[in-house]
């Protein structure tokens, strides 16, 4: 329709009976939605490129950037002043960099021989270091000597223990042999005594057999005492080895 007349007939038309009008109306609504969606996407892209900041809450204090603008004190016996700062807040420094220039109020406090005195102190410290190095070397040599002596003493104690054990074995054999001899002497004395009572042996032979018994007993006691001494030496050798 051209809409030339002032009388509107669109309200009187039954639009639902015309499929063409339905399609035109649906297309118009769809195009409007797509346009709105497109404009919203463009607006989102623009917002992403806008500058933005984040807020963080923290505690702190306000100070100046340069150190010379702050109250500054240095604990010193001699009065002086801070002439110049060569760094500021946040600067990186290396070993040997000049940070601060300090001057004394009176030049009378300056020591003209300060460098010489410091050189002497450094020389004395170096001599002390050399002296301590010498003492350390001597102590290390002494320690090595003590270690060698310890090893020798240990070997000596082991040998002493071995000798004591061998001596115990030898004394044990001698003591057992003396016990056998004493037993034989007693048996011979008993037989001689029996024969003497029968008149087959003389008194002299009986006394000789008795003397052999006494000698065998004395020898056995002596060898037993010697065996006990040898066993005591083994105990002493074990104590020396443990120490």
- pLDDT tens track for 24-47: 555 555 677 788 888 898 998 888
CA distance 204 to 212: 12
List, for residues 79-112, the tens digit of each pLDDT value: 777 788 888 888 888 888 988 888 777 666 666 7
Query: Which pTM does this prediction carry?
Result: 0.41
> What is the C-alpha to C-alpha distance for residues 197 and 232, in angstroms, rounded to an integer?
46
Distances (CA, A) of 168 to 34, 221, 242: 117, 15, 20
- Residues 229 and 221: their CA atoms lie apart, in Å, by 12
* Coil vs helix vs strand at 43: helix
CA–CA separation, 90 vs 92, rounded Å? 7
Domain edges within the chain: 151-242
- Percent of the chain residues past pLDDT 90, beyond the cut: 14
Q: Per residue in 202-234, pLDDT tens?
A: 888 888 888 988 988 998 898 889 889 888 988
């Amino acid at each position: 329709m051209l809409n030339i007349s002032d009388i509107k007939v669109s309200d009187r038309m039954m639009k639902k009976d015309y499929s063409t009008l339905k399609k035109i109306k649906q297309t118009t609504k769809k195009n409007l939605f797509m346009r709105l969606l497109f404009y919203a996407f463009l607006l989102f892209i623009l917002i992403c490129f806008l500058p933005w900041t984040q807020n963080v809450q923290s505690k702190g204090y306000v100070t100046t950037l340069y150190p010379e603008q702050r109250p500054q004190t240095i604990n010193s016996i001699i009065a002086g002043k801070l002439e110049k700062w060569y760094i500021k807040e946040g600067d990186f420094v290396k070993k040997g960099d000049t940070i601060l220039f300090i001057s004394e109020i009176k030049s009378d406090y300056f020591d003209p021989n300060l460098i010489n005195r410091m050189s002497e102190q450094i020389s004395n410290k170096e001599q002390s270091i050399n002296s301590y190095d010498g003492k350390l070397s001597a102590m290390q040599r002494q320690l090595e000597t003590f270690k060698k002596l310890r090893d020798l003493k240990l070997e000596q104690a082991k040998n002493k223990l071995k000798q004591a054990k061998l001596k115990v074995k030898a004394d044990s054999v001698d003591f057992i042999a003396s016990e056998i001899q004493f037993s034989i002497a007693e048996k011979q004395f008993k037989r001689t005594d029996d024969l003497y009572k029968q008149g087959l042996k003389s008194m002299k032979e009986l006394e000789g057999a008795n003397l052999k018994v006494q000698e065998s007993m004395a020898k056995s006691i002596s060898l037993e005492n010697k065996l006990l001494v040898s066993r005591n030496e083994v105990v002493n050798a074990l104590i020396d080895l443990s120490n």
